[in-house]
Each structure stands twice: as C-alpha cells, then as structure tokens.
Amino acid sequence: MNVELVTIGDEILLGKVINTHIAYIGSKLARIGIPLSRQTSVRDERGALKEVLAESLERSDLVITTGGLGPTTDDTTKTVLAELFETKLARDEAIVRDLRERHGESLSAIVLTQADVPASAFVIANSVGTAPGFIFEKGDKRAVALPGPPNELKPMFEDVVLPKLEAERKGDLFVERMFRTIGVRESDIEERVGKMLQGLPGLSYGLIAHPYQVDLRLYCTSPSQQEANEILRPGEEVVEAEFGKSIFTRDDRSLEEVVGEMLKVNKKTIALAESCTGGLIAKRLTDISGSSAYFEGAFVSYSNRWKENLLGVSGQTLIKHGAVSEQTAREMAENVREKAHTDIGLSVTGIAGPTGGTKEKPVGLVYMALADGRTTVARKFNFRGDREWIRYRASQAAINMIRDYLLKVE
C-alpha cells in the first residue's frame, strides 16, 4: 500500500509553525508496517491544493491530508476533495445538532458550514474541536482528511484511521529494527558494518545522525513477520557484535528515558551542578514522568559567585584553574552530591559560545565530572557547532556518563 501525506497551510510554508504532523503520522504508520512514501506541503490556495491532491491520488492508494478543514475562507480541503471524488456537499443534521449543543445561541452561519459534509464520505467526529474529518473512497483510491490542530487530529487518527488501516493492511509487511548508539560517528558505523550489511539479502539499513547520537535502522519488507525476522537476524547479529555497549536502546526511547530507567532499577539518586548547559540536563531528566524517584535537584550555577558561595567551589580553584577546568568540574560534582545527599553528583562546565572563548579555552571546550563518594571521574570534550548544539551535545555526553557509570555498577 502506497501512502502519501499532504500537509496544508500557509503557516507551514512560511515557517510560522514547525510541521510535526510528518513525524507523528509517519512514525505511527511505520509502526504498523505502512511507511509514508512521500509528503507534500502546500499553501492555502485552491488551485495549488487541487493540483497537489490530484497528483498524490494518481501516484498512491491513500492520501492523508492535514489542515484546511476550518470554517474560514482559506479552508478549502473539503470542497477540493469533494470535487476530486465527484461528490456534493450536503448538510448533516446530526452535526447541526452537535454544533447547536456546543455553541448554543451564538452559533454563527460561518461555524454552521462545518455541518456541510461530502455526501459519499465517511464522517470522522471531532471530539475536541468543531471541524469533522472525512474518509473519501472511490474505486481503489482513498483520501483521509484531518484537521490541522494536533490535539484535534491525534484522537481522530488514533481512534478511527489507524485501526482501520491496520485491519485492512494487505501485501508485504514493513519490519524494522532500531539501534540507537551514543558516542560513535556516522562514518565509523558505515566503515565498520556497511559492507557486511550490504551483503545481506533482502535487508536494507539507514543511519540517522543526531547530536552525539547515531541511530542505525535495519529494515525489510516481507510477506510474514517470521520471514522478516529471518531476514533481519544476521544484520542484528552484526550490529550487536560490533557496537554492543554503544547501543543504548533497541527502540525509540530517548537517552534520558533509558538512563532514568537505569537509575530507578539501580535505586540510585542523582543531583546536578550545571554551568554552561544552564538547566538543560535537569530539564531533560525531568521531562520523564516519575523522575522524582531518582532526581533530587540541580544547581544551575551560571555565575562564579554561585559556584563559590552556593556550591562551595573553592576560590583558589576558580582563580588558579578557572571556572572551565577539570578541577572546577570535580569540585562541582563532589559538592552537589554532598549537599543534596544523593548517590551520584554530576557536573558540567564549559564554554557554549559564541563569545567567551580564548586560544587556551576555545568555544566548545566542556569539562564534566561524576562523583559517587568514593571516586570522581572527569572527562574533557571539544564540541563543535553553535551554542545550541554545543549545549545539547554536552547534555548528551553528560547523561551518557551516568549510563557508563551504571553499566559498570551493574
């Protein structure tokens, strides 16, 4: 089954919002073995929209659209699809009643147009907003029209569209294995396993580079899950043998989720002392619900005064070695651990840039340390990139230091 996504709206192409529909719908479809083959964004302009939808329907079995279902004049998805599927709009009295219930006396003629639905289409109720969605069908072509706001789209997609597609899915399965690695370069992975993976029949692979993280995916299409497993197994063995402990997860979890789970299982608590990352590591660890089981808190000691007066880094150390130094990182980690009475103290200090670098201490220089009361390990990094990337890379490397530590404890 060939599926395309068409995301509709000026706001997408003018860069006013980040298009999260592609990742959301793409990942949900991939998980049931129907990868998206193409995605197009088009403006709120009737002619352009009709052209895009006609082309997509020509190429594929199913077109999913997002946006352009509202009651305002720039919303034309419903009428354009009705034309392409050769059906007419007719007022749906059930929707009229529902709108009257929600809006009461204030129901306007504009909002009421949402009750005009394509006669031959299946209507998907919208439990959050007022614009219903639709499933159009004609011969072997189908289109699913969903509203743009993610909180309206998601329940409609998950409760109606996805189960329907999963039940009807026929033909080959798309099966995938994910290996998320940390601290290994993309080109290293290619060199170490590329040739071997290319030699395996029926198997494809792909690499996705994130800051300080590379995801390696093995995938194949196959008539049965069992056959797919047989195709993928030799590839999995190659990857496991070569990268072993650099693989932090074999699913879609984030590093902070995996490390949070490890802290919980090992019954270890942690406190942070962050300088250049400015709270990013604490933010990432507390993105995870339930993190209060292992996360005590953090000092975001951005200034030297804070490092000295509140975190207790010695004035001598700051003067002699500077705030960005292994010695300061060590004291930060040891002190925060002691002050917070946790098992682990973790610190990061560095120069995120773009200013503040010197010849001896350039932008991107970051020290981090992990203290457990017996020993303190420190590491030095030279990260490349802009402020955002340096900070994010540093947060990755720091969270990975917790992982390395817990792997040795286990």
Residues 155-174 that bind a second copy (CB under 8 A): none
Residue 143 phi, psi (nearest 5):
-135, 140
Least separation in angstroms between CB 260 and a second copy: 12
Q: Whose structure tokens read 């056959």?
A: 227
Residue with Cβ nearer a second copy (24 or 122): 24
Contact call for residues 243 and 181 (beta carbons, < 8 A): yes
Q: Does 38 bind a second copy (CB under 8 A)?
A: yes
| Min separation Cβ 85 and a second copy, Å | 22
Which residue has 């793409």 as its token pair? 26
Kindly determine how many residues on this chain lie close enough to bind a second copy according to the rule CB under 8 A. Answer: 105
Hey, what amino acid is at 14? L
Q: Does 17 contact a second copy by CB under 8 A?
A: yes
Closest distance of CB 383 from a second copy, Å: 10
Q: Least distance to a second copy from the beta carbon of 120, Å? A: 27
According to the binding rule CB under 8 A, does residue 206 interact with a second copy?
Answer: yes
Q: What sign for the dihedral angle of Cα 256, 257, 259, 264?
A: positive
Q: What is the b/e burial string over 310-324, where b = at least 16 CB atoms within 10 angstroms of the residue's CB?
A: ebebeeebbeebebb
Residues 80-109 that bind a second copy (CB under 8 A): 108
Residue 65 Cβ, how far from a second copy at the closest point, in Å?
A: 15
| 267 binding a second copy? (CB under 8 A) | no
Whether residue 42 contacts residue 56, with contact meaning beta carbons closer than 8 Å, is answered with no
Q: Is 174 helix (H, G, I), strand (E, B) or coil?
A: strand
CB of 93 to a second copy, least distance (A): 21
Which of the residues 39 through 58 are near a second copy (CB under 8 A)? 39-44, 48, 52
Q: Is 259 in the site for a second copy (CB under 8 A)?
A: no
Q: Which of 208, 265, 319, 409 is close enough to bind a second copy by CB under 8 A?
A: 208
The site map against a second copy for 213-232 (x = CB under 8 A) is --x-x---------------
Q: What is the DSSP letter of 352?
A: -
Name which of residues 278 to 307 contact a second copy (CB under 8 A).
278-283, 285-287, 289-292, 295-303, 305-306
18 binds a second copy (CB under 8 A): yes
Per the DSSP assignment, residues forming a β-bridge with 146 are 66
The kind and range of the H/E element at 116 are strand 116-118
Among 61, 71, 183, 236, which residue sits at the site for a second copy (rule: CB under 8 A)?
71
Rg (CA), the chain: 27
Stretch in the footprint of a second copy (CB under 8 A) among 136-144, 228-236, 277-285, 365-373? 277-285
Cβ neighbours for 4, distance < 8 A, ≥ 6 positions apart: 36, 37, 38, 39, 40, 56, 59, 60, 62, 63, 64
Strand order in the sheet with 270-274: 270-274, 344-350, 365-371, 376-382
| Closer Cβ to a second copy, 229 or 286, answer by number | 286
Task: Measure the CA–CA gap between 334 and 373, rounded to whole angstroms.
Answer: 7
Is 177 an interacting residue with respect to a second copy (CB under 8 A)? Answer: no
**Residue (164 or 339) nearer to a second copy, CB:** 339
Query: Please, what is the minimum distance in Å from the beta carbon of residue 370 to a second copy?
Result: 18
Looking at residue 187, its amino acid is S
What is residue 29's three-state secondary structure?
A: helix
What does the block give as tokens for 368?
A: 């981090």
As measured in angstroms, the least distance from the Cβ of 86 to a second copy is: 25
Output 354 or 373, the one with its CB closest to a second copy. 354
Q: Segment 329-358, which members bind a second copy (CB under 8 A)?
A: 339-341, 352-355
Rounded to a whole number of angstroms, the minimum distance from the CB of residue 75 to a second copy is 10
Question: Minimum CB separation from a second copy for residue 163, in Å?
Answer: 18
247-249 and 173-182 strand pairing? antiparallel
